[in-house]
Amino acid sequence: MRLLNKKAEIAGEQVMWLWSMFLLLIAAGGLALGVTVFYSQEYDVRAIEAETLNSIITNCLTENEVDFTVPAKFYEACGLEGKVLEDYQKTRIKIGICREGCREGEILFQLGSDFESCDFIGKNKNYPKCVKNKIITDKGDKIEVIVGSNHLSGRIYV
Amino acid sequence: MRLNREGVIGNLPDVVITIILIVLFAAFLFVFIGQQRNGAGVWEDTYAKEIAQVINLAEAGDEIAIDVHYATEIAKKNRVGDLRSIVRFDNENNEVVVKLRPRGETRFSYFKDVEIVNDRIELGVPTNVLKFRVMGPEKGGEDEAAE
């Protein structure tokens, strides 16, 4: 009987030791995962990028007579690189003449779609960061420029 | 009494193993968190994006100097061979390429239609500084032809 108790005691100690090691492993794993998730967040410059692009376009429209019929001419007039901007996942641009509080009007230039998501600020971090700006041309037209950026960097592991 | 002493001596290796394992876990966590904090990936991302923003706001003809001392420190810590090549410019794809680790790099594109020429990292002036010149696409071509 005494021998049996001793065996049970040793088995119990072993089980408890394994259990405490398991708990330690779980705690360490959880902490490591949390730290990894925290530091894997990208440095977000989408709002700044949208602001910069919007100001370049509005300045360009104010200073130049821009031909919107051919996108390449618009890019050239405003000093923009078309092949970078035409990655629709990253950038979207909409330039239109504003009528009826910008609810109606003619679209002069559009790159990309889903400008509705620009209105859902703070709802989902995956939505693009957008900047809207309005200018009045010499002809008296009110032009609205909407720029959205969802530009994230590409990390390459070799 | 004898049995008890045997019991204590018998448990001693287990206690030592447990302490060693706890110390190992703690050391692993300290090293891991330290590595993540000074992680090359995070700083590559930050430098690539900031440099791209500078280019987006630059005008053709601008000469730009950016302090990249901390980036060179990280690259040195990660044993990147040539500190002068941690920042490159891919004019073909309009991308800034930052490499602060031996395996891998981070790329970020700029939308301004410019060419980056004469880019170099000057070490110890007194800090490490990235210098480059922003040129319009045509001017860049003329500049290269002139050279």
Cβ pairs bridging A and B (under 8 Å): 98
Tokens for B130?
């990235």
Place of tokens 């618009």: A74
CB contact under 8 A, B57 and A52: yes
Task: Give A19 to chain B, closest Cα distance, Å.
Answer: 12
| pLDDT value at B143 more than 70 | no
* 3-class SS shares of chain B: helix, strand, coil, % to 5: 50, 25, 25
Asked if A98 and A143 touch (Cβ cutoff 8 Å), the reply is yes
| pLDDT value at B118 more than 60 | yes
**Nearest to A44, CA basis, from A154, A155, A122, A151:** A151
- The stretch B30-36 carries a mean pLDDT of 79
Q: What pLDDT does B117 receive? A: 94
| pLDDT value at B99 more than 90 | yes
Q: What pLDDT does B4 receive? A: 54
The winner for highest mean pLDDT among A80-84, B14-18, B81-85, B129-133 is B129-133
The winner for highest mean pLDDT among A79-88, B17-26, B88-97 is B88-97
Q: What pLDDT does A68 receive? A: 85
Distance CA B72, CA B101 (A): 11
The ipTM value here is 0.76
* 3-class SS shares of chain A: helix, strand, coil, % to 5: 45, 20, 30
Q: What are phi and psi of A59, to 5 degrees?
A: -60, -40
Exposure class string for A123-142: b at 16+ Cβ within 10 A, else e: eeeebbbbbbeebeeeeeee
| Tally of CB atoms within 10 A around A23 | 10
CB contact under 8 A, A153 and B136: no
A26 in contact with chain B, both atoms CB, cutoff 8 A: no
B21 in contact with chain A, both atoms CB, cutoff 8 A: yes
Provide, as residue numbers in chain A, all residues whose Cβ is less than 8 Å from the Cβ of B107: 153-154, 156
| pLDDT value at A89 more than 80 | no
| Tally of CB atoms within 10 A around B54 | 17
Asked if B90 and B97 touch (Cβ cutoff 8 Å), the reply is yes
Provide, as residue numbers in chain A, all residues whose Cβ is less than 8 Å from the Cβ of B114: 79
CA distance readout (Å), B26 to A29, B14, B37: 11, 18, 16
Band of the pLDDT at B141, cuts 50, 70, 90?
very low
| pLDDT value at B10 more than 60 | no
Band of the pLDDT at A141, cuts 50, 70, 90?
confident
Band of the pLDDT at B135, cuts 50, 70, 90?
very high
A17 in contact with chain B, both atoms CB, cutoff 8 A: yes
